[in-house]
Amino acid sequence: MLNRRKMLQGMAAGAGAAFGLPLVPERLLAAPTSHGTPKRIVFFMQNQGFDPKTCIPEEVKRSGSLAKFKLPEPIKALEPYKEKLHIINGLHGLHTSPSHSAFFGALGGYRGSDGVPPSAPTIDYELSKVLPQTLLPHLCIGMDSIENMTTKPTIATLSASGAGQPIFMHSNPNHLYQMLYGGISTGDIRLQHEARSNVLNQIEKLAATKGRSLPHAEQQRYGQFVGGFKDINGLRDRLDTVADHLRKFAPTVDERYTNPEFETDWHDVLLDLGISSLTSGITNTLTIGSGRGEIFGAWKGLGVEQQGHNLGHMGQPGNPIWIKIRQYNSRMLVRIMEALEGVPEGSGTMMDNTLIVYTSNNADKQHTNGANWPVMLLGNLDGAFKTGCFTQLDGKRPINSLYTTLLRAAGVSCDHFNMNDKLARKFDTGSGPLKELLV
C-alpha cells in the first residue's frame, strides 16, 4: 500500500507524487491507481435527526425500485436524480447513545457524547487513507449560526483520526478560502494569507522548541498540537506547486464572504469551497456537518426564525420548518452532483466515481435511542452500489455495517468496523458488508 507520509513529504518538497508520477495538474483529477478509477466520498450530516417519513414515499412498504413513486416534499429536489438514489431504513445505532447527538460516535460507530473524545478513527478518515491519495486527504466543513461560526471558526465533534485525535471542521469561509486558495489570490486576501502563513510558520517553530522541554508524558499530546501546524504549513506548500491548476476551480469571492446577510450565505459559500476541493482534486473525502454535530444550527436565510435546540423538539414529518431545512439540504446535494457531473473523468464524469452519504448524527430524531438510523446514498462509486431503490432492513444490523460496506467498496475487507467481538455479538446479527446495498 502507498506510504502516505512519504508521499506527502515528497509533494511538500516538490519532488513528485505517488506511484512515481510527476505532480502535474492532470494527475489531480484522474490518477489511475491499483484500485482502478479514482473514487471519492462525501458525508453530509444533518443534526437533530433524520425522520424516515421525510424521505420514504408513503406508498413504499417494502424493499424495491423507486421508479414508480414520487419522492416526499422534503427531498423533492432529488426527484431528477432518483435513479442515483438509494434510501436505507432499519439500520440501528443503539450502542452509540445518540440522544441529542452521537458526536464522534455517529461516524465512528461507537458510544459518543458531548465533550467525550473519540475512541477510534471515524469512517470518513479511514476511507481517506485507502482512497487514491490527494493533496488534502480529508476536508471537514461545518455550518451553524453566524454567531457560532464567527466565535468558534473551527470545532471538532464528528471526525477523528484515532482515539483522542479529533479532526477539526472549518466554519469560517474566509479562513478556509485563504487556506485553499490564498496562494493564488490577490489584494487583501493575498496579504491576509501571507500574514497568516508567516504567523503559522513561527508558531510551528516555537511550539516544536517549547515542546521538547515538557515532561515525557506530555510530549506526545503536545506533539499532536505541533503536528497540526506542520500539516497546515505543509498543505500550503503543496497547494503552491499546483497554483495554475487551482485557478480554474477557485470560487469567486463576493460579499457573502465578508458581509453575509444570513448564516445561509456562509453555508452556501462553504459548500462552494467543499465542491471546489473535490472538482479540483484537492481532496476526495469531504465531510459536511450541518449543525456541526451538535444541537444548535440556524437557517434564518430560509425564513426559519427558530434555531438551536428547540428545532429538535418539533416533529419533522409535515412540519413546514423541517421541510424547508430538508429541501435546502437536498438542493445542496444536487449542487454537489451537478458540479461533479460537469467534470469529465475516464469514460464518464466525476459523479460516476463518487458516493454521497446523507444521514444525521442523531439517528431519526433528537431524543432517540438510535433504534432506527435512516441513510440516503447518492451515486454508486464506480458501479459498486445499487441505485434507484429503497432497502428496508430488520433493525438488527448497526451503522457500523454500513461503514464496513463502504470500506469493502473502497477495496478493504473487514467483518466489523470499530466493533470488537463482544460488541458485535450484542449489536450485530451479521458480519461483513450489507449485501443488500452492493451490486
> Is 320:304 a contact under the CB 8 Å cutoff?
no
Kindly tell me if the per-residue pLDDT of 277 is higher than 90: yes
Q: For all residues of the chain together, what is the average pLDDT?
A: 86
Q: For 35-49, 250-264, 350-364, which range has the lowest pLDDT when averaged over its residues? A: 35-49
Q: Please list the residues that pair with 142 across neighbouring strands.
A: 289
Residue 215's pLDDT is: 62
Query: What local confidence, expressed as pLDDT, does residue 236 receive?
Result: 74
Contact 321, 311 (CB under 8 A): yes
Q: Give the mean pLDDT of 99-112.
A: 96
| Residue that wins the pLDDT comparison between 308 and 77 | 77
212 pLDDT band (50/70/90 cuts)? low
Taking only the tens place, the pLDDT of each residue in 188-201 is: 655 554 445 554 45
pLDDT, tens digit (0-9, with 9 covering 90-100), for 139-166: 999 999 999 999 999 999 999 999 999 9
pLDDT given for residue 191 in this prediction: 53
CB count in 10 Å sphere of residue 185: 18
Residue 73 is classified by DSSP as G
Distance in angstroms (rounded) separating the CA atoms of residues 264 and 144: 9
User: For residues 91-124, b (16+ Cβ closer than 10 Å) or e, as one string?
Assistant: bbbbbbbbbbbbbbbbbbbbbbeeeeebbbbbbb
Q: To the nearest whole percent, how much of the chain has pLDDT over 70?
A: 80
Residue 81 has pLDDT above 80, yes or no: yes
The answer, yes or no, to whether residue 182 has pLDDT greater than 70, is: yes
Q: Let me know the angle formed at the C-alpha of 11 by 223 and 170, rounded to the nearest 5 degrees.
A: 55
**Residue of higher predicted confidence among 411 and 199:** 411
**Bigger pLDDT: 75 vs 34:** 75
Q: pLDDT confidence of 32, banded at 50, 70, 90?
A: very low
Under 8 Å CB-to-CB from 160, ≥6 apart: which residues?
Answer: 104, 108, 118, 120, 121, 122, 125, 166, 167
Domain boundaries in the chain?
40-174+259-427, 186-249
CB 381 within 8 A of CB 66: no
3-state secondary structure of 70: coil
CATH number of 40-174+259-427: 3.40.720
Res. 300 pLDDT band, cuts 50 70 90 = very high
Strands 85-92 and 154-162: unpaired
Q: Across-strand partners of 86?
A: 377, 389
- pLDDT attached to residue 179: 87
